[in-house]
Amino acid sequence: MSVQVPSIYTIEIIYRGIHQRHLARNLARGIAYAARIAGSVALSYQRYGDDPERDGSPAKYFVVIAKGASEEVLDAEAARVEPDYVDVSIVLDDSILKGVESWAWQGIQPVHLKLRAGGLLIVVSKRSPDELIKFIPTRDSPYTLVVVYGERSIGDFWTFPDDGTVERILGAIAKVLPNVLSLNDVKKYLENLDKPNERISRALEAYQSLVKLREVKPGEGLPYKYEPPHLPGWKDMMIGGAIPGLRPNQRNPYFTGGTAKHYRPVINFDKCIKCSLCWEYCPDSVFDVTPDGYFNPVLAYCKGCGICAEVCPVPDTIIMVDEMEFEDGYGKFIDEYKAWKEGREAYRKWFESLLPKAQIISVRKR
**Cβ proximity of 314 and 273 under 8 Å:** yes
**Cβ proximity of 61 and 10 under 8 Å:** no
293 makes contact with another protein (CB under 8 A):
no
- Shortest gap between Cβ of 20 and another protein (angstroms)? 13
- Residue 205 half-sphere exposure, CB side, CA atoms within 13 Å? 14
165-195 burial, b for 16+ CB within 10 Å, e for fewer?
A: bbbbbbbbbbbbbeebbebebbbbbbeeeee
Of 98, 168, 175, 303, the one binding another protein by CB under 8 A: 303
Residue 65 — φ and ψ, nearest 5°?
A: -130, 140
Residue list 212-231, contact with another protein (CB under 8 A): 231
Binding footprint of another protein, residue count (CB under 8 A): 66
CB-count burial class (<10 Å; 0-12, 13-18, 19+) for 133: middle
From CA 321, how far away is CA 264, in angstroms rounded?
5
- Shortest gap between Cβ of 298 and another protein (angstroms)? 7
363 makes contact with another protein (CB under 8 A):
no
Radius of gyration of the chain from its Cα atoms, rounded to whole angstroms: 22
For another protein, the closer of residues 113 and 172 by Cβ is 113
From CA 108, how far away is CA 86, in angstroms rounded?
18
From CA 126, how far away is CA 112, in angstroms rounded?
20
Of 46, 57, 165, 296, the one binding another protein by CB under 8 A: 57
Of 4, 52, 79, 313, the one binding another protein by CB under 8 A: 52
- Shortest gap between Cβ of 61 and another protein (angstroms)? 16
208 makes contact with another protein (CB under 8 A):
no
291 makes contact with another protein (CB under 8 A):
no
307 makes contact with another protein (CB under 8 A):
yes
With contacts defined by CB under 8 A, name the span among 91-99, 201-209, 297-305, 324-332 that binds another protein.
297-305
From CA 184, how far away is CA 215, in angstroms rounded?
26
Of 3, 5, 79, 246, the one binding another protein by CB under 8 A: 246
Residue 253 — φ and ψ, nearest 5°?
A: -75, -15
Residue list 15-34, contact with another protein (CB under 8 A): 17-18
Of 149, 224, 226, 255, the one binding another protein by CB under 8 A: 255
From CA 168, how far away is CA 174, in angstroms rounded?
10
Residue list 329-358, contact with another protein (CB under 8 A): none
319 makes contact with another protein (CB under 8 A):
no
Of 305, 312, 319, 321, the one binding another protein by CB under 8 A: 305
254 makes contact with another protein (CB under 8 A):
yes
Binding mask 128-157 for another protein (x = CB under 8 A): ----------------------------xx
From CA 206, how far away is CA 200, in angstroms rounded?
10
54 makes contact with another protein (CB under 8 A):
yes
From CA 151, how far away is CA 140, in angstroms rounded?
31
CA nearest neighbour of 86 among 57, 117, 55, 131: 117
For another protein, the closer of residues 147 and 312 by Cβ is 312
Where do contacts with another protein occur on this chain (CB under 8 A)? 17-18, 49, 51-57, 81, 103-105, 156-159, 231-234, 237-257, 260-261, 280-286, 289, 298, 301, 303-307, 309-311, 320, 361-362
